[in-house]
Amino acid sequence: KPPVRKKTVPGIVASREKLTMLTAYDYWTAQLVDRAGTDMILVGDSLGMVVQGKEDTLEVTVDEMVYHCRAVNRGRQQALVVGDMPYLSYHISREETVRNAGRIITEGRADAVKLEGGRKRIPMIEAILDAEIPVMGHIGLTPQSVNALGGFKVQGKDFKSWQRAVDDALALQDAGVFALVLECIPYDLAEEITGKLDIPTIGIGAGPACSGQVLVTHDLLGMSFGRTPKFVRQFADLSATGGDGLAAFIEAVHDGAFPTLKESFKPSKKADNIQLY
Ligand code: KIV
Ligand code: NA
């Protein structure tokens, strides 16, 4: 069997096909999305909400990102792994920023980092790029700005905010980001940005014109019990099928139908001779 070739940043940028990116935070999910053929796996700070059950992404730490990136890296074979930089890990100084991005790459074994924000992030982006770490940008609804934005709201609806998004996108491309996430903006704005850029745009709630699409895997597989945003399509319902399976297990245990002797070990000859594995 030929060795699997891992996707690369230049390969992603040069891709002529629509790109896909899916989130994963653990070994099993990384294997699932990698085998499905996604181009990129995002170890997103959405971790804070979908795995840790928090209200927003603000408390996620670099240590947590490193831990989850390590698990995801072991589960992937072909996909590019992008690690999110948590809130406050790239806001204070260039030194702290490069150290934190570097930990996600060296300890976490991600291939690239992603960070949120427009032109004001360029000094930090340049510092990370100087350390030879590829950076993905992220504009529009930037969840780490939830307090400044006053909630998770569609961005770019008025003229000023539209123009700011276009200018930020061009400035981030000039700074050297290899791809740009566009989150929750009107589809005509995403179309204009995608048309103006040479690098790929990866949309989430940004319509069909983007160069690729990203979704939170938990949302698209129905791995949550809350409401999902308008832009999510639920392609499977793991909460339902998983819940059915678990109910069947509980019933089988109550009925004495599980386990059978076939699912048990043969009687031992000597009590001290039991080897389980
Ligand atoms: O953290 C995340 O999952 C993200 C995507 C929604 C783009 O940043
Ligand atoms: Na994120």
**Has 126 been annotated as catalytic?**
no
pLDDT confidence of residue 270 = 67
Does the beta carbon of 181 sit less than 6 angstroms from any atom of ligand 1? yes
Query: Judging by beta carbons within 10 Å of its beta carbon (0-12, 13-18, 19+), is residue 10 exposed, middle or buried?
Result: exposed
pLDDT confidence of residue 106 = 98
Which CB contacts under 8 angstroms, 24+ apart, belong to 222-230? 223/50, 224/50, 229/152, 229/184, 229/205, 230/205
Q: What element of type H or E holds 201?
A: strand 201-204
Query: From ligand 2's centre to the CA of 55, what distance in Å?
Result: 14
pLDDT in tens, 147-206: 999 999 999 999 999 999 999 999 999 999 999 999 999 999 999 999 999 999 999 999
The closest-lying atom of ligand 1 relative to the alpha carbon of residue 143 is 8
Terminal-to-terminal C-alpha distance of the chain: 29
Check if the beta carbon of residue 178 is closer than 8 Å to that of residue 13: yes
Residue nearest to atom 5 of ligand 1 (CA): 44
Residue 49 pLDDT exceeds 90: yes
Q: What is the ipTM of this complex?
A: 0.99
Does the beta carbon of 46 sit less than 6 angstroms from any atom of ligand 1? yes
Check if the beta carbon of residue 34 is closer than 8 Å to that of residue 76: yes
pLDDT in tens, 207-218: 999 999 999 999
Phi, psi angles (nearest 5°) of residue 19: -90, 150
State the chain's mean pLDDT as an integer.
96
CATH superfamily of 9-220: Phosphoenolpyruvate-binding domains (3.20.20.60)
Consult the annotation and say whether 55 binds a ligand.
Answer: no
Place 273 in a pLDDT band, splitting at 50, 70 and 90: low
Residue 276 pLDDT exceeds 70: no
200: cis peptide before it, omega within 30°? no
Question: How many CB atoms are located within 10 Å of the residue 71 CB?
Answer: 17
User: DSSP secondary-structure letter at 144?
Assistant: G
Residue 1 pLDDT exceeds 90: no
Q: Is 35 left (phi over 0), alpha (psi -120 to 50) or beta?
A: alpha
Which one of the listed residues 17, 183, 191, 192 is annotated catalytic? 183
pLDDT in tens, 212-254: 999 999 999 999 998 889 999 999 999 999 999 999 999 999 9
Pocket test for ligand 1, best of 56, 204, 228 (most atoms within 8 A of CB): 204
pLDDT in tens, 57-91: 999 999 999 999 999 999 999 999 999 999 999 99
Pocket test for ligand 1, best of 183, 220, 221, 231 (most atoms within 8 A of CB): 183
Does the beta carbon of 197 sit less than 6 angstroms from any atom of ligand 1? no
Query: From ligand 1's centre to the CA of 225, what distance in Å?
Result: 19
